[in-house]
A and B are shown apart, each in its own frame.
Chain A
Amino acid sequence: MISLAGRDILHAWGKFVFTGLGLGLLIGVTLSMAGIYRGMVDDAEVLLDTSGADLWVVQRDTLGPHAESSSLQDDLYRGILTLPGVARAANVTYLTMQVGQGERDRRAMVVGVVPGGPGEPGQPRFLVAGRHLTRGHYEAVADLATGFQMGEQVRIRRNLYTVVGLTRRAVSSGGDPMIFIPLKDAQEAQFLKDNDAIVHQRQRTLANPQLNRPGQPGVLAAVLATQTESSAVNAILVRVTPGADVDAVAADIRRWKRLGVHTRAEMNEILQAKLIATSARQIFMFLVILSVVSAAIVAFIIYTLTLGKIREIAVLKLIGTRNRTIAAMILWQALGLGAIGFMVGKIAASLWAPVFPKYVLLLPGDAARGFAIVMLICTLASLIAIRAALRVDPAEAIGG
């Protein structure tokens, strides 16, 4: 038996191809939405990978530097280093801000890390050019997505930093590319005020009789010092010794240092279930709506094509064509339309994914699932047309 659906598609290929193109663009958007979600999850994974930590020590009762504000004294890491099972511990600060690039500025997450080699917690794990941060001030390692080149100057607050290294896929949970600078500079950048603000604050402090007491000049000096310096960090990144029980080390830190500690799994949970959960739900809603719209389009197109063939279907039935042959013809046409649409959608999504400002990760597994869902939607969408075709009376082919 010849393929009636295939012949019909070949006969009206223009109609099918153009409809498939339209449907394909819709499927491309759907795949891209899924890719954006995957990209967000991957960004979260990369963020944790980049830090190179086994444990994140944060302010007690907070969820850590990426989800909530966390402030720790920068000397706490020394005590943590003394605990059994701790191999390395390093302070880190995170600050999302606008950084200057010549006349322009761009959004980035500035990460303050302890200068050192690649093994230092918080330092980027790999570089694509240059070297890691080794000096205490005014140098930076930038993610390629920031657009900075080697040797270029990055303006953060009032200071300029020279790019000495470039890395890749170092992004915040929000997708902003990272710029790594020395910890001290980052601490200063977090709390650095402009000169007028400093002068006004000093004047207010001087005018406060509680702080500016006669005969006690040391109090005023100490207060002024605390107002212009920062000894706070957002978190301490801890790497445990090989073979050490991560949970046991985390429990020791909680017990003896009275600090909040999150393991890698917990940080993952915080990032995925709390930070990007709302975005994921938003994307899921878009996926549902796009799927319904796709189904409606396929159903409408197939139904319209079927209604245009009522007389032919009546003739086919009259000359003895089985209902299942007619149903298969319509089903295959719907599946053909879905296949064309999926191919167009996959190609379109692959072409435009790199143009997106945020990372879009198109996984082969998602594509396979997408194809199965498109085929399922097309099958369901064809049911209306099949029902209409099966209700056609063969007598319609006979006049009168």
Chain B
Amino acid sequence: MVEARIPPDHAAPGDQDHRDGPGRPGIHRAPGAGISAGAGFPAGVLGNPELPGIGATHGIRIEGLRKRFGAGDTAVDALKGVDLAVAPGEVIGLIGPSGSGKSTLLKCLGAVIEPSGGRMTLGEEVIYDEGWRIPDRRALRRDKIGFVFQAPYLIPFLDVTDNVALPLMLAGQANGLARDQARELLSALDVSHRARALPAHLSGGEQQRVAIARALANRPPVILADEPTAPLDSERALGVIRLLNQMARQYQTAVIVVTHDEKIIPTFRRLYHIRDGRTQEEVGEGRTLAG
């Protein structure tokens, strides 16, 4: 079995004194981290050179991201200045109660809705700075962002290979080449034996692996995973997180996992807690994921 273990030198020191109130077991606030309302990075990211995301040439970072719905008296500020950074090869957790702004943040990060302000950078490229820098958001999602959903949401009428090859084909890749690359990914994710099967004939775990393969197809610098383990039992949930860690390292992809799942929260080395439209960086246990 594969063991995905976060290097201990990247783990934040467990400092009980910095525990954030009732907090979650095994989650500690990073030194200097706090709720940031401004445009700067949280101190835990920008100020601590030991944490990933600093000086990274790829990955994603956002500064002071804001999102307002409506106008005037009925305006709602869903995001009030979110700061977040994820390094290539890193998997971070994004947690928070319902209505805290997780989905809004995910939609902004996924270039699905336009933020009201702030700055987003993918690798070296500024994609949003008080306005989209890449006007074709469809192409942005296709080429630079991978998505993994709560349910696999595979295209039911395409076989496994074509489901994974589809983003490549959409990007203009020749069908044969796209399928070759898809088969490589399926092999890496250990589902190559189901390459010709339709999604309906796969188990839940296999479907989620295929969904991860699809998210990785275009080698995006960032993958957004929305509750990817919600419908899975503990073992399968940990398997998915292990896989995301493995793929993140292998393909140097920054992975943001939005989750409520208590089973997997301790596995994150870094966590962002979103509350009232602001993020707070926390240091997780980074529990070893023995396979």
Interface residues of A (CB under 8 A from B): 1-2, 4, 7-8, 10-12, 311-312, 315-322, 325, 393-395, 397-400
Contacts and interface: CB of A to CB of B under 8 A. Distances in A.
A11 B198 contact: yes
Contacts of B278: none
B232 interface: no
Contact of A319 (B166, B175, B226): B166
B106 to A, nearest CB: 6
A1 B175 contact: yes
B131 to A, nearest CB: 20
B167 A320 contact: yes
Nearest to B157: A11
B169 A319 contact: no
B187 to A, nearest CB: 21
Contact of B226 (A1, A10, A316, A398): A398
Given A394-B112, A398-B107, A320 B162 contact: no
A397 B147 contact: yes
Contact of B103 (A8, A10, A394, A400): A400
Residue of B155, B166, B169 with most partner-chain A CB within 10 A:
B155
B142 interface: yes
B184 interface: no
Contacts of A322: 138, 170
A318 B110 contact: yes
Contact of B158 (A7, A317, A319): A7
B227 A319 contact: no
A304 to B, nearest CB: 16
A315 B157 contact: no
Contacts, number: 81
A7 B155 CA distance: 10
A315 B155 CA distance: 8
A1 B169 contact: yes
B169 A2 contact: yes
B103 A398 contact: yes
B58 interface: no
Contacts of A400: 102-103, 106, 226
B170 A319 contact: yes
Nearest to A394: B112
Contact of A318 (B141, B162, B227): B141
A319 B103 contact: no
A321 B147 CA distance: 13
Contact of A398 (B110, B138, B156, B170): B110
A7 B156 CA distance: 10
25 contacts: A2-B162, A2-B166, A2-B169, A2-B175, A7-B158, A311-B153, A312-B156, A315-B155, A316-B155, A318-B110, A318-B141, A319-B214, A320-B138, A320-B170, A325-B170, A393-B112, A394-B112, A395-B113, A397-B149, A398-B107, A398-B226, A399-B149, A399-B150, A399-B227, A400-B103
A11 B156 contact: yes
A293 B138 CA distance: 38
Given A1-B169, A395-B107, A399-B103, 11 more contacts: A7-B157, A7-B158, A312-B155, A318-B141, A319-B141, A319-B142, A319-B147, A319-B166, A320-B139, A320-B170, A398-B149
B171 interface: yes
B112 A318 contact: yes
Contacts of B155: 4, 312, 315-316
B93 to A, nearest CB: 16
A12 B155 CA distance: 13
Interface string B127-144: 000000000001101110
Contacts of A316: 155
Contacts of A312: 153, 155-156
B156 A1 contact: no
A260 B153 CA distance: 80
B26 to A, nearest CB: 25
Contacts of A397: 147, 149, 153
A2 B158 contact: yes
Nearest to A396: B112
B149 A315 contact: yes
Contact of B157 (A8, A317, A393, A399): A8
A163 B206 CA distance: 80
Interface string B173-200: 0010000000000000000000000100
A318 B175 CA distance: 20
Nearest to A315: B153
Nearest to A11: B157
Contacts of B138: 317, 320-322
Nearest to A314: B153
A282 B173 CA distance: 55
Contacts of A7: 157-158, 162
A37 to B, nearest CB: 41
Contacts of B106: 398, 400
B198 to A, nearest CB: 7
Contacts of B227: 399
Contacts of A399: 103, 149-150, 226-227
B171 A320 contact: yes
Nearest to A7: B157
A10 B156 CA distance: 11
